[in-house]
Copies of this chain bind each other. A is one copy, B any other.
Amino acid sequence: MKRAEIIAVGTELLLGQIANTNAQFIAKHLSALGYHHHFQTVVGDNSERLKSALEIASSRSDLIILTGGLGPTKDDLTKEVVAEFVQESLVYHEQSLEYIEQYFIKVNRPMTENNKKQALVIHNAHVLLNKNGMAPGMVYEVKNKQFVLLPGPPKEMIPMVEKELIPYFLKGKEASTIISKELKFFGIGESILETEILDLLENQSNPTIAPLASEGEVMLRVTASASNQQEAEKLIGQAEEKIRERVGQFIYGTNNENLFTVLSSKLKDFKLTISAAESLTGGLFSKRLTDIPGNSSIFKGSVVCYSNEIKQNLLNVPADILNKNGAVSAECAKSLVENIQRLTGSNISISFTGEAGPSTLEDVPVGKVFIGIKIGDSDSIVKEFQFSGTREQIRLSSVKNGANLLIKLINSSFESQDL
């Protein structure tokens, strides 16, 4: 098995301004690609030190993946140093140069000379197109070593790895096909999930099953290798079946799905429209729904009722409720969800009211949240939650629990009668 290592280039990493999440992302892919991964290095924007890191890495690894330092400024010198190291020149990559020129024409801004530099690539390298930025990546192969250069910004690096680098590595390799499938969970913690499937986690080697937790959710990544795709999919299917037998009720989706894409699909499937009244979440639920393109058919709109004045005047919450029960109350959540549905004429509506913290205004405990849901003509329901964590975590927990509740309620209300 070949050895791979990662060199992240960027003084911002050494200053502690950002964490090296690029290395984390790439590391996840290395074992699936069949590499041992033994070292990661971070080095600043300095050619001497980058050269020394390259020397060390190439003395002990077969694949060296570098991230960062491909931008337009004088600080960006990764490809210059690698080119010198492998004794190649830099040449303009026509397609990338054209793309950069077109970009500046489109945004109607002058292209400064240093932007042209981004289209330079190492002579004889395979170019990885950058569809989310200007600087292309590259793979340079010499003897038994491979050097991969990737841009630093994750929004450019991640799609380049997924859409350009991995297909490049897999091309022409009949030998082993490696396929992964992610199972997405909500409403179960990582340690409980792990306990439930401990024997599967420990005894499986093909497929491997790896739990990963982030942003209040857990996923299991099931990765199989086989001689062909069909065989790998069969292995994954068998493992998935065992997992679903135990904890299937917590699985809401797979792969690139998230709670909001699943909710959107459900609404589209049943030709339903939705609206929201958002107090503590301040627009986050609506933002997450509209992150997804093409949702104008299902999402009518929302009222972000951050002040009591708007709750009262725009959403007709009775002054009585605000005075007696307070804005953070089941009664307020109920009034909000009923009124936003009436106001927008949507089939389904949801409301959020609560205390996101960090401190509290009205003696309401930080993290206390009420979510109201109304489906069609049915009576509205209100659920009370007590979340913990930072303001950001409490707001995120609120909208994710809201989406999860909606998915379950839509399933139970519509699935039996319509399918």
Stretch at the interface among A137-145, A168-176, A305-313: A305-313
- A contact set with B: CB distance below 8 Å: 11-21, 23-31, 37-44, 46, 49, 52-53, 56, 60, 71-75, 103, 106-109, 112, 114-115, 132, 153, 155, 189-192, 194-195, 201-202, 210-214, 221, 276, 278, 280-287, 289-291, 293, 295-296, 299-307, 309-310, 313-314, 343-345, 356-359, 361, 386-392
| A315 CB, min distance to chain B CBs, angstroms | 9
A14 to B6, CA, bound (A): 10
| A356–B191 touching, CB < 8 Å | no
| A306–B293 touching, CB < 8 Å | no
List chain B residues, Cβ under 8 A from A284: 283, 287, 290
| A303–B302 touching, CB < 8 Å | yes
A392 to B388, CA, bound (A): 28
The 6 closest A-B pairs by CB, nearest first: A282-B290, A283-B283, A283-B286, A16-B27, A16-B28, A301-B310
A75 to B389, CA, bound (A): 24
A390 to B194, CA, bound (A): 37
A194 to B276, CA, bound (A): 45
A102 to B358, CA, bound (A): 18
A28 to B18, CA, bound (A): 10
| A114–B191 touching, CB < 8 Å | yes
Closest to A18 in B: B24
List chain B residues, Cβ under 8 A from A109: 189
A295 to B306, CA, bound (A): 9
Q: Other than the known A15-B210, A293-B357, what 16 A-B pairs have Cβ atoms closer than 8 Å?
A: A14-B37, A14-B38, A15-B28, A19-B21, A74-B202, A114-B191, A276-B304, A282-B290, A286-B304, A286-B306, A293-B356, A296-B306, A300-B307, A301-B307, A301-B309, A309-B344
From B11, B42, B283, contact of A304 by CB (8 A): B283
From B41, B281, B304, contact of A41 by CB (8 A): B41
A385 to B343, CA, bound (A): 32
| A5 CB, min distance to chain B CBs, angstroms | 9
List chain B residues, Cβ under 8 A from A39: 14, 41-43, 49, 53
| A214–B41 touching, CB < 8 Å | no
| A47 CB, min distance to chain B CBs, angstroms | 13
From B293, B295, B388, contact of A107 by CB (8 A): B388
| A172 CB, min distance to chain B CBs, angstroms | 26
Q: List 25 A-B contacts (CB under 8 A).
A: A13-B24, A13-B27, A15-B28, A16-B23, A16-B27, A17-B221, A18-B24, A20-B23, A38-B46, A41-B41, A72-B190, A74-B201, A75-B210, A112-B192, A114-B194, A278-B283, A282-B291, A283-B286, A283-B287, A301-B304, A301-B305, A301-B307, A302-B303, A303-B303, A304-B304
List chain B residues, Cβ under 8 A from A73: 190-191, 194, 211
List chain B residues, Cβ under 8 A from A303: 301-304, 314
With A307-B299, A392-B291: A40-B14 Cβ-Cβ less than 8 Å:
yes
From B115, B301, B390, contact of A191 by CB (8 A): B115
| A15–B221 touching, CB < 8 Å | yes
| B358–A112 touching, CB < 8 Å | no
| A39 CB, min distance to chain B CBs, angstroms | 6
From B25, B153, B195, contact of A114 by CB (8 A): B195
From B24, B202, B280, contact of A19 by CB (8 A): B24
| A211–B75 touching, CB < 8 Å | yes
| B19–A191 touching, CB < 8 Å | no
With A283-B284, A290-B306, A293-B359: A44-B38 Cβ-Cβ less than 8 Å:
yes
List chain B residues, Cβ under 8 A from A15: 27-28, 31, 37, 210, 221
| A38–B43 touching, CB < 8 Å | yes
Count chain B CB atoms within 10 A of each CB in A40, A202, A343 and give the residue with the most: A40
With A24-B18, A28-B16, A191-B72: A304-B302 Cβ-Cβ less than 8 Å:
yes
A419 to B101, CA, bound (A): 46
